[in-house]
Structure 1
């Protein structure tokens, strides 16, 4: 049976960053490392899609280069197309990113078991990322629990 986790594209970085803050040992740590790699690959795809989607809305200079914004790495959008650009980006941000982890199932189960009763309290973004991650891990492993009953 294929095991997957499903997040929104815009949630990937927060979940990956959260996982990096956890203090884990052995198999759970290895599960975290595998999951971070899988999340990172999906996040790279998302960033490429986002960049490609924005391209037609970016203001160009006389040489045809993107006009850079005030902050490093940002660009200026064509003023008349800002609403259209925001709608397109919002759509990509909310698309599902499905992460298949069947081959790492044992390591992911160890990760799930270790963080289910994690001894540290979480707040703000970490609490939200923990909740999203646990919802997905619980869904992925609940069939196994049902089979044990």
Structure 2
């Protein structure tokens, strides 16, 4: 049976970063590492989609190159098309990123088992990210439990 987690594209990096902060051992740590790699791959796809979606809205100089913004790696958008660009980006941000972890199911189950009762308290943003991650893991592994009954 296929096992998946589903996040919004805009949630990928925060979930990956959160996982990196957890203190885990053995199989749970290996599960985390596999999940971070899967998230990273999806996040790369997401960033490429954002870049492609923004291309028609980027201001070009006389040589046809992108006009760079004030911060490194940023670009300047055509002012008249800024709302259209923001709408395109928002749409991509809200799209679902489905992560198939079937081949790592045993390691993910170990990760789930350890973080379900994680000994550290989470607050603010970390608490929200933990809840988001646990909703997905619970969904994946509770369905498994119900199917074996």
In structure 2, distance between residues paired with 1:70 and 1:20: 30
Aligned residues: 149
1:130 equivalent in alignment to 2:122: no
* Runs of 4 or more consecutive aligned structure 1 residues displaced over 6 Å after TM superposition: none
The CA deviation string for residues 80-99 of structure 1, in whole angstroms up to 9 with x for no partner, is 00000000000000000000
Partner of 2:119: helix, strand, or coil?
coil
In structure 2, distance between residues paired with 1:147 and 1:73: 48
The CA deviation string for residues 46-93 of structure 1, in whole angstroms up to 9 with x for no partner, is 000000000000000001111111111111100000000000000000
In structure 2, distance between residues paired with 1:72 and 1:114: 39
Q: Which residue of 2 aligns with 1:50?
A: 50
Structure 1 length-normalised TM: 0.97
Gaps of at least 5 residues in structure 1 are none
Q: How does 1:76-115 map to 2 (within 5 A)?
A: 76-115=76-115
In structure 2, distance between residues paired with 1:80 and 1:103: 47
Structure 2 length-normalised TM: 0.97
Q: Which residue of 2 aligns with 1:63?
A: 63
Cα drift, residue 145 of structure 1: 2.4
- Alpha-carbon RMSD: 0.9
Question: Is contact 1:31-1:108 (8 Å) kept?
Answer: yes
Gaps of at least 5 residues in structure 2 are none
In structure 2, distance between residues paired with 1:148 and 1:88: 43
The CA deviation string for residues 98-136 of structure 1, in whole angstroms up to 9 with x for no partner, is 000001000000000000010111122211111111000
In structure 1, distance between residues paired with 2:147 and 2:102: 17
